[in-house]
Amino acid sequence: MRRGLRRCPRRVAVALVLAVSPWPLAAAEVAGTVTAPSSVRPKPPPRYYMGPERSGRGATGARGGVEDVVVWLEGVDGEVRVEPPPPPAVMRQLDEAFLPHVLPVRAGGAVEFPNDDDYYHNVFSVMAGDRFDLGRYARGESSRQTFTTSGVVVVRCEIHPGMKAFVRVLDGPAFTVPAADGGFLFSGLAAGTYTVRAWHPTAGERSHTVTVAADGTARVALDF
């Protein structure tokens, strides 16, 4: 679907979404784009060389760009359709990195942390409200953590100091990670006023309030 959003004009994509929508066709929608900071290369190895299973040579994927943005719509209580759909609530541990680097989850929801590396990992957070320590576990094993408090939870691995990720816990159901081109769409909305917010771990938060009529489309551009 992300590819589709990239290739098709926005109106075509919206039309496709609405065509298969179970919600009334008259529903309002909020469409937008996010312009994020450029992705950055991974950090260099740690000051101390840490050996074959702690060398820091992992974390090869770019991050810090639009893939690290979470966008959500405030003021939504009921069902809402989101494009692209929110990523699954899974944060892998692979190549000495958490993947994805930023993951949104609804408050009360659980995130799986499978270890896909050949060596041990640990997952913990000391953020107030959602402190947890899942201990060390091996490849093929997974642990689950439920996040109850809305906000930002910094996740780390006690074994690999360079591993760090963010779980963005949100109260409402309307959230997602934008497509690669920064596009997103919330549809099936009732007419009204909504606040669109976007958050990036280093660039901070942006917001924009829009009013959308029934059958209407409000467009938002959020620039980091």
Partner 1 sequence: MLLLLSSAWLTAGVCVGDSAGDAGGEPSRATGAAATTESRLWLEGSLDLGTTVGGGGGERLNTLIRGDSNFDDIRLRLFLDVEVTPRLTLFNQFMIDPSVEVFPESFLRSYARWEAASWDGGEVLLQAGKIPTPFGSFAPRAYSDRNPLIGTPLLYHYFTALRANQLPADNRDLLAHRGEGQPADFGGFAGGGAERPFSGLPLIYDACWDVGIAAIGSAGPWEYQLAVTRGTLSSPRFRGDDNNDGEQLALRLAWVAAPGLLIGSSWARGPYLDRAVEPAVRARGAALEDFEQQIWGLDVDYGVGHLRVVAELAQNRWQVPTIRAAGGGLEPLEVVGGYLEARYAIRAGLWGGLRYDRLDFGRIDDGTGGGRRTPWEADVERWEAGVGYAFTDRVLGKLVWQQTRRSAPAALDDGFLAVQLTSTFGGVRP
Question: 142 φ, ψ to 5°?
Answer: -145, 150
Q: How far is CA 161 from the centre of its chain?
A: 22
For 77-121, the DSSP string reads -S--EEESPPPPSB-EEETTEEESSEEEEETT-EEEEEB-SSS-E
Report how many residues bind partner 1 under the rule CB under 8 A: 43
Gap between the Cα atoms of 113 and 123, Å rounded: 8
Gap between the Cα atoms of 217 and 215, Å rounded: 7
Binding mask 6-45 for partner 1 (x = CB under 8 A): ----------------------------------xx-xxx
Binding residues among 199-218 for partner 1 as defined by CB under 8 A: 201-204
Among 162, 178, 183, 188, binds partner 1 (CB under 8 A): 162
Among 33, 93, 125, 187, binds partner 1 (CB under 8 A): 125
Angle, CA 74 vertex, CA 194 and CA 219 arms, to 5°: 45
Confirm or reject binding of residue 158 to partner 1 (CB under 8 A).
yes
Confirm or reject binding of residue 142 to partner 1 (CB under 8 A).
no
Given the rule CB under 8 A, which residues bind partner 1? Answer: 40-41, 43-53, 55, 57, 64, 118-120, 124-128, 131-133, 135-139, 154, 156, 158-159, 161-162, 164, 201-204
